[in-house]
Amino acid sequence: MEVNRNRISDWLKNLQDSICTALEIADGKSTFEEDNWVREEGGGGRTRIIRNGDVIEKGGVLFSAVEGPAPDFLFNESQHSPQASSKEKTKNRPSFFATGVSIVIHPANPMVPIIHMNIRYFEMPAGTGGDGGVRWLGGGIDLTPHYIFKEDAAFFHQSLKKVCDKHHADYYTKFKTWADDYFYITHRKETRGIGGVFFDRLNEGDGMSFEKNLAFWKEIGENFAPIYTELISRNKNRSYTEKNKAWQLLRRGRYVEFNLVYDRGTKFGLETNGRVESILMSLPKTAGWEYDFKPEKDSEEEKTLALLKKGINWS
């Protein structure tokens, strides 16, 4: 079957539907609210938000398909005179098209981990100005526990490794390392969580056609719901204290720092005039910061901090 943007967008909409259904069942109380939006420059999306549930305090499952003249950060500005106006700079640019599903879930119980997934397709047909004629796949899935349970970390990484190994023997090692490097809070010298897999600009190569990589990309998306609903089931009934909730707020604060300082998806959305409410849905309802916080020696909080580093073999 020919690969084209419409089929990919339709598949992503169906993925959004199936993930929302699975999360509603896992939560058992709240349902998603849908907000459809249109982007002035072209395209739009469906933002679905769930909140105040039995399990999920705040979460979003977003679909978008946007297009228009390639923005500055995707385009080689050297093709234009520095004196040129903004309109002159963009009038001969090729159009880009990007579609994807993005998910962030913030649970109420601090023993249930935060999870994020994004899978996206990008294309820029050949045009009269700048680079063109490209298409690629990107995405990944990563887990941010407030408290790290090693059996859950192993389950999460083994599940991702199984998907990767099915498609390419090197993908898990390569994309796990990429996730460790990407989801790293440089100014804190710690990883955001326990990583996962991350990849970008995946097209063809290493014996993989674009179509084979598309099958891998789809399977990553399809595995989100079974992986996360299992982690919810394991942890949603664990008891917790006010101390645990206070720690959860601090870890959410780290999550906010990463998303606002480093995350490419946030930057892409803001720099392409995306819908701000949808872009920032990744932020938790509440978060916290304490000045120069130090966990108690040998506490579960200290043990978690000690595991927030690159290169751990979780599987």
At 73, the pLDDT band (50, 70, 90 cuts) reads low
pLDDT given at position 127: 57
Average confidence score pLDDT of the chain:
90
pLDDT at 161 over 50: yes
What's the whole-model pTM score?
A: 0.90
Q: Give me 54's structure tokens.
A: 């039995």
pLDDT at 79 over 50: no
Report the 10 Å Cβ neighbour count for 259.
Answer: 19
Work out whether the CA dihedral 8, 10, 13, 14 comes out positive or negative.
Answer: negative
Q: Give me 110's structure tokens.
A: 């601090």
Q: Cα dist. 180→161, 217, 237 in Å? A: 15, 19, 30
pLDDT given at position 93: 65
Work out whether the CA dihedral 238, 243, 244, 245 comes out positive or negative.
Answer: positive
Q: Give me 308's structure tokens.
A: 């927030």
What does the pLDDT average to over 68-77?
62
pLDDT at 69 over 90: no
**51 beta partners:** 58
Q: Cα dist. 150→112, 123, 145, 224, 307 in Å? A: 13, 39, 10, 19, 10
| Residue of 99, 100, 105 whose CA lies nearest to 32 | 105
pLDDT at 84 over 50: no
At 2, the pLDDT band (50, 70, 90 cuts) reads low
**Spatial separation of the C-alpha atoms in residues 51 and 31, rounded to whole Å:** 8
| Residue of 8, 20, 130 whose CA lies nearest to 69 | 130
Q: Of 2-11, 167-176, 178-187, 224-233, where does mean pLDDT reach its minimum?
A: 2-11
pLDDT given at position 72: 63
Catalytic choice (106, 116, 146, 157): 116
User: 116 catalytic, yes or no?
Assistant: yes
